[in-house]
Structure 1
Amino acid sequence: MTAKSNTRDLSVATQLGCTVNFNNQRNSALADHSISPEQELLFSELVIAKHGEAFTTSRKVAELFGKDHRNVLRAIRLLDCDEEFTALNFELTDFIDKNGNPRPECLMTKDGMVFLVMGFTGKKAAQFKLLYIRAFNWMAEQIRTTHELTSWQHDFTRREAVSVANGTLHGQGLARRRIEKHALSNEQAAIHAKLQLCLNLIGEEAA
């Protein structure tokens, strides 16, 4: 798997991360979806969705925590975890730098990220750890919602086909089809709008 060659600027993420108050917050992104557009943008910068899973990269961790990327890669190599955990939560890949050359980086899951940053110390580091956890939780919720909307879309397609078929059988079915067509059209528009919003947030395209 090859990551995108362009790394987004996380300076805004760093600034916002420093100002977020994580103490006694009940309105988490996962709980009530009341996060601001700025937080949504921040979370989508930190955590990526691909093939229905959420992960981040060693470059993003390095940039947010203000560390040299080479040192982050070294810290990952030196982690004291077993082979199974490493295989499940870390994947060595590469990206193309600004000069067009391939460079190593590491993809990691939420568990991998948490294991890695446990050793990072300092007040800002503690805030950024919580920020990353919230970002992963938010992305997991977007992925779950996308799956639910996709199932809803499949169910809609089935019901639409039944409605069309029944409308061709007899006069009563045709009259019912006229009523159902309007309701189904509104439902289809609602599904599409909600699904597209989720896909935009997680950076994926509709099938």
Structure 2
Amino acid sequence: MSELILNDADFQQMVMADQGKVVTTSLRVAAYFGRAHKAVLRKIANMKCSPEFNRRNFALVEYLDAKGEQRPMYEMTKDGFMFVAMGLTGEKADQIKERFIDAFNWMADQLLQRAMSYDHIRNELMLEYRQEKGIASLAGRTLQRWQIKKPAIENRIMTIERDGQYRLFSA
């Protein structure tokens, strides 16, 4: 059997980010594994996992089908997907499992990079803010100093100019 090779766009079709978590849906699992969606729904509903595991890894939601009608589907985490996919067998199923795992990991990396990029940009902005605040503070202090010294310096300039004028006329 030929190896199934997927790229980033394919991964985006397999998994998605939902409130910072990487998830997929029972619809996507059914499509990629070539199973009927109702069979995947039944498999999830009949699993014998603990209620805590079920609550952490599966969320029953609704979607609009092609006719515009509300239908049930599950959103599931990577662990939820693994639990469901363990029961699917065959060489093609094994390849699909591997690709889903790659897709989950890829999306987790994307979210991490986005978070790191956000932190980097935020840190640079905070540094710029502090620098500009320091400059403004220094400028404020030097402006205040100038306002105090300016009249005295202007008086000395006027005195020296006046004295210079007297010397020119008296010489």
TM-score range, shorter chain: 0.7 to 0.9
In the TM superposition, 1:182-197 aligns within 5 A as none
Match of 1:73 in 2: 41
* Deviations, residues 128-165 of structure 1 (Å, cap 9, x unaligned): 00010011011111111111111112212211111222
Match of 2:4 in 1: 20
**1:41 and 2:24 aligned:** no
Structure 2, gaps ≥5 residues long: 140-171
In the TM superposition, 1:46-195 aligns within 5 A as 46-168=14-136, 169-170=138-139
Match of 2:168 in 1: none
Q: Distance in 1 between matches of 2:94 and 2:106?
A: 19
Structure 1, gaps ≥5 residues long: 1-17, 22-37, 171-207
Q: Distance in 2 between matches of 1:98 and 1:161?
A: 51
- 8 Å CA contact 2:3–2:95 kept in 1: the answer is no
* Structure holding more helix per residue: 2
- Partner of 1:55, secondary structure, is strand
Match of 1:34 in 2: none
Q: How many residues align?
A: 139
Considering only aligned residues, what root-mean-square deviation do their CA atoms show, in Å? 1.8
Q: Distance in 1 between matches of 2:121 and 2:21?
A: 20
C-alpha deviation, 1:20, in angstroms: 3.3
C-alpha deviation, 1:19, in angstroms: 3.0
Q: Look up the equivalent residue of 1:105 and give its one-letter code.
A: M
- Partner of 1:80, secondary structure, is coil
Q: Look up the equivalent residue of 1:53 and give its one-letter code.
A: K
Larger Rg: 2
Q: Distance in 2 between matches of 1:20 and 1:91?
A: 29
Identity %, equivalent residues: 36
